[in-house]
Amino acid sequence: MQYYLNGFRGGDPDVMNAAPGRRDRTPYAPLPDKVDVLIVGCGPAGLCLAAQLSQFPEIDTMIIERKPGPIEKGQADGVNTRTMEMFQAFGFAETVKRESYWVNQTTFWTPDPNNPAHIRRIGRVQDVPDDSSEMPHTLLNQARVHELFLDVARNSPARLEPDYGWALRDLTIETSTDDHPVTVTLENTGVNAGETTVVRANYVVGCDGARSNVRKAIGGDLHGDAAHQAWGVMDILANTDFPDVRQKCLVTSAEEGNVLILPREGGYLFRMYVELDKLNPDERVSNRNLTADHIIAAANRIMKPYSIDVKEVVWWSIYEIGHRLTDRFDDVPDSDRATRTPRVFTAGDACHTHSPKAGQGMNVSMQDTFNLGWKLAHVLLGRAEASLLHTYSAERWTEAKRLIETDHAWARIMSAPPGESELDGSDMPRFQKQFIENLPFTGGLAVKYDPSRLVGPPTHQELATGEEIGRRFHSAPVVRVSDAMQMQLGHVAEADGRWRIYAFAGRHDSSAPGSPIHNLTDWLANDPASPVVKYARPDEDIDGLIDLRAVFQQTFDALHYEDIPALLKPEKGKYGLQDHEKVFCVDHKGAGDIFDMRGIDRARGCMVVVRPDQYIAHVLPLDGFEELSRFFDGVLTRPAND
């Protein structure tokens, strides 16, 4: 991590220098009248967006929450590998890795054919396939994830904090103005309950959960399963003779239904999901009267011959949810797309819901706003036209739809009676096979955005077969040349709204003057058509918007750091200090060769252009100047003062 660019400052480096001119936050200070962005709801979607926008103190962001303060426990707990990669960009992946449970293996239990009243283990699957991500799949209390985002926002230049105890009641959009066109009525839910106030915003993002008022205000409905599926879920401290209690388990009993076991952070806690549809008919009808004791009793019936001795029920709930989706994630109907740009968005559960079985709800909600955050920042900072905001709904709706379809298929298989799903002719039971097939989905790694102004055509995809355009940039090991640091290339990407270009050098390129890497940096630094020249602002560092990194095939000690071109050692910040963290080479200590691992053309090298949300926008030859120029011209606008 890089810090002290603008001078030394003692203390925790995650606490950034506060920007001037922040809102008065002393007690009883009034709410602002106008903001750039109003985020509604402090769930994972809202907090991820707040953490992202708080990096830009020029943007006036407000986040409200109906509840009086942060939640303490319960709700979702699955953090997939893709989300962990995003947490890395926000700076707290290491904290999550340390505190959380890691899902290394998933085991499968079905009725013992010799004694169908008893379950027995029939298989194990490595939960994160080798090299599918450098990150683990983890499980951690949703409340803790909230806290980590809150810390990011609190420590940001904007020192952003939520306004608790305020609920959005309604909103209206005045399409005829660009000056804070959204008028929002907020209602106090705290000491002055019922009191209302009005805030005007340039943009409103409804992260207000499945009963979203924002969605209703822009005329959205959730469509999908009419029949809700009910799950009993409990987080417990308990003893058991079940040997796999510290592994993720899918347990299918012959007569008593299914259980999903999710070990949790801290080594003692675990979660059990019990599918309530499979309960005895008399229990099912009275779902609403179920208590934790019913869930415990059901779990004990399903787990026979093992038993669970519960010592503390930390949290429990009957979680009823279907797979549902709205028609669009913003306020602009298809018919108006050509004439106006969105002002109001929905994200997370507000626009799509998922069953907890695949553990997607929290992940996909955060990925929504990670997609939206940088786009809002680009538009509000004048880096892109407002039409960029159309891509949010386009990209995320398609993904939500795909996910729901996968989720659906999985739910059918999971719920099929054991006789049917268990043996499929082959050795491996059908649901284990399906589980393995689903891993890219559950890991969040199957997301692939369609070609658009933000996702280039696959013309040169063969130059980097393992970095597919439209998918997330797949990190791999490298060594940083200046200090021989072994690290993950993907970890240079911070949640800072910047684009990255990874320039992979061809075999013979050791960055001597005249080499393709030099030609690229010369063009990028000097040519009027270069996006760096065109879109950099006079008041920011040369890498303030587009951050170039290079990766060589030699080992670090075979390169001459003195020959590296200036754009790869740019002088930055108030002192013009050299940045020495732009140049990499292949790992020489056995972690793997990034060129081989990601199918990079060793002879020709290539450029991989990566969006601020870590998705691959383009793969181009090292001399693909014109295509690079054209791509960025389709996304960015010149600084207004040009």
Ligand X SMILES: Cc1cc2nc3c(=O)[nH]c(=O)nc-3n(C[C@H](O)[C@H](O)[C@H](O)COP(=O)(O)OP(=O)(O)OC[C@H]3O[C@@H](n4cnc5c(N)ncnc54)[C@H](O)[C@@H]3O)c2cc1C
* Least gap, CB of 185 to ligand X (angstroms): 10
Please, what is the end-to-end C-alpha distance for the chain in angstroms? 33
Tokens of 327: 């028609």
**10 Å Cβ neighbour count for 288?**
8
Which string of x and - marks every residue 346-365 that binds ligand X (by CB under 6 A)? --xxx-----x--x-xx--x
Tokens of 83: 């989300």
The tally of CA atoms less than 13 A away on the side-chain side of residue 429 is 25
Residue from 52, 61, 62, 65 in contact with ligand X (CB under 6 A): 65
Residue from 16, 40, 62, 380 in contact with ligand X (CB under 6 A): 40
Is the Cβ of residue 150 or residue 546 nearer to its own copies in the bound state? 150
Residue from 52, 54, 55, 75 in contact with ligand X (CB under 6 A): 75
263 binds ligand X (CB under 6 A): no
Residue from 185, 452, 482, 637 in contact with its own copies (CB under 8 A): 482
How far is the C-alpha of 424 from the C-alpha of 413, rounded, in Å?
12
Nearest 5°: phi and psi at 154?
A: -65, -35
What is residue 464's DSSP assignment? B
How far is the C-alpha of 488 from the C-alpha of 549, rounded, in Å?
13
Is the Cβ of residue 18 or residue 566 nearer to its own copies in the bound state? 566
66 binds ligand X (CB under 6 A): yes
547 binds its own copies (CB under 8 A): no
307 binds its own copies (CB under 8 A): no
Long-range contacts of 385-392 (CB under 8 A, 24+ apart): 385/637, 386/341, 387/341, 388/453, 388/454, 388/635, 389/330, 389/341, 389/342, 389/345, 390/330, 390/332, 390/337, 390/341, 390/342, 391/452, 391/453, 391/454, 392/329, 392/330, 392/342, 392/345
141 binds, among ligand X, its own copies, none (CB under 5 to 8 A by kind): its own copies
311 binds, among ligand X, its own copies, none (CB under 5 to 8 A by kind): its own copies
15 binds, among its own copies, ligand X, none (CB under 5 to 8 A by kind): none
Which 465-524 positions form the footprint of ligand X (CB under 6 A)?
none
275 binds ligand X (CB under 6 A): no
79: nearest Cα among 440, 324, 444: 444
Residue from 31, 67, 102, 255 in contact with its own copies (CB under 8 A): 102
* Least gap, CB of 311 to ligand X (angstroms): 21
216 binds ligand X (CB under 6 A): no
How far is the C-alpha of 366 from the C-alpha of 362, rounded, in Å?
6
How far is the C-alpha of 162 from the C-alpha of 64, rounded, in Å?
6
237: nearest Cα among 268, 272, 273, 274: 268
* Least gap, CB of 410 to ligand X (angstroms): 14
Q: Which residue stretch of 57-65, 91-99, 156-164, 458-466 sits at the interface with its own copies (rule: CB under 8 A)?
A: 91-99
**Interacting residues toward ligand X by CB under 6 A:** 40-46, 64-67, 74-76, 142, 167-168, 207-209, 213, 233, 317, 319, 348-350, 356, 359, 361-362, 365
